[in-house]
Amino acid sequence: MIQYVIRRLIQLIFVLIGVSLVIFLTMHVLPGDVATMLLGDRATNLQLENLRRQLGLDQPIYIQYLRFAIGAIQGDFGLSLRSNRPAFDDVWTAFPVTIQLSLAALAFAIAVGVPLGVVAALRPLSRFDNIVMTVTLFGVSMPIFWYGLMMILVFGAFLDWLPIGGLMPIGVEPPRVTGMSVVDSIIAGDWNLVITSLRHLVLPACTLGTIPVAIITRITRSEMLSMRSHDHVRTARAKGLPEWRVVLKHVLRNALIPVVTVIGLQLGLLLSGAVLTETIFSLPGLGRLMINAILARDYPVVQAAALFTAFLFVVVNLFVDLSYAWLDPRIRYR
């Protein structure tokens, strides 16, 4: 296992170098000159040249990349062109919002998806199974940005059950410790704040979690069905175990190994896919930060947010692979 981990970590380094190269090169084929963009059209040639020298834009491209890579390792992406703060500080401030939303969406997806998949697999092709499969097909086909608006319309406007946007009501905020509104509210020990922050999280988390619910339901169902015909399950039945015990101990337990992998992969996708949900619900997360930075052509922030998100995605996927290798020895000896 240790050899496998070392091999994967070495691969990770190469992937991260590749990812950073893609981000760096993409930003450098930009139409337009960064110096002109910063100083405006009225800047003199001398001013432009000075700024280019100051930013290192007069250096050969490989030197620029090395400076970028060394800066990135130290968390230094330069100053945001909008806020004039270090770009990575903006990313670090937005990150807890995205991670809280993604974890809540994943919790929702697991809580709904796994039981639905299990129950559907108990009686395949029954009416319930057909309904579940149809609804999950709708779930995977859902344009998330539209679905979010529908949730707002139904639960926020018509029924008036839940708040329709933001992390907290305006002017109400727990003292910042982690940046995650629910956790900070718990740390503050104010249960009213905890309930308020949870109420604000429900609609975005359900919106973001809908596609993962559909995917987790489908994979749980299909793994349960394929596991049912295995020899060890037949043996368990043959020795007279009650059906619930066969399902829970012998079918579900083994079927969950690939489901765990899918759940892990979903987390990586949720972290990066939260951009649409954050936009609809006005949440100041990483995705929203990146969109605003792109629209304002704030490239230090775009680079910092992109590299940080890609890094998270790659690391989460590495952990998923490692957990899978840990659960299934055949992988690590391949």
Partner 1 sequence: MTVTAVTPTARAAWTKGATKLLRRPTARLGAGIVAIFLLLTVLAPLLAPYSPFDQDFAAALQPPSAAHPFGTDQYGRDVLSRVMYGTRIALLSILVADGFGLVVGTLLGLIAGFYGKWVDSTVMRIVDVLLAFPYLLLALIIVAALGPGLLNSMIAIGVVYTPQYARLIRGQVLSVKTTEFVLAAQAIGANRARIMLRHILPNSFTPVLVMGTLSAGTVVVETAGLSFLGMGSQPPSPDWGAVLAEGQGYFLTAWWIATFPGLAIFAVVIGFNLLGDALRDHFDPRRRKE
| Contacting positions for partner 1 (CB under 8 A) | 14-15, 18-19, 21-23, 26-27, 29-31, 137-138, 140-147, 149-150, 152-153, 157, 268-269, 271-273, 275-276, 279-280, 290-291, 294-295, 299, 302, 306, 309-310, 313-314, 317
Nearer to partner 1, 5 or 140 (CB): 140
Give the integer Cα–Cα distance in Å for 306 and 108: 26
SS3 105: helix
Least CB distance from residue 224 to partner 1, whole Å? 16
Nearer to partner 1, 119 or 265 (CB): 265
Give the integer Cα–Cα distance in Å for 232 and 239: 11
Nearer to partner 1, 29 or 170 (CB): 29
Which two structure tokens, joined as six digits, stand for 109?
């997806």
Least CB distance from residue 325 to partner 1, whole Å? 18
CA neighbor of 288 nearest in space, from 104, 181, 165: 165
Nearer to partner 1, 141 or 192 (CB): 141
Q: Are 304 and 88 in contact (CB under 8 A)?
A: yes
Least CB distance from residue 272 to partner 1, whole Å? 3
Q: Which amino acid is at 273?
A: G
SS3 86: strand
Least CB distance from residue 294 to partner 1, whole Å? 4
- CA angle in degrees (0–180, nearest 5) for 79-82-87: 30
From residue 263, alpha-carbon distances to 177, 321, 327 in Å are 28, 12, 14
Nearer to partner 1, 178 or 279 (CB): 279
Least CB distance from residue 245 to partner 1, whole Å? 29
Least CB distance from residue 193 to partner 1, whole Å? 26
Nearer to partner 1, 167 or 276 (CB): 276
Q: Are 284 and 305 in contact (CB under 8 A)?
A: no
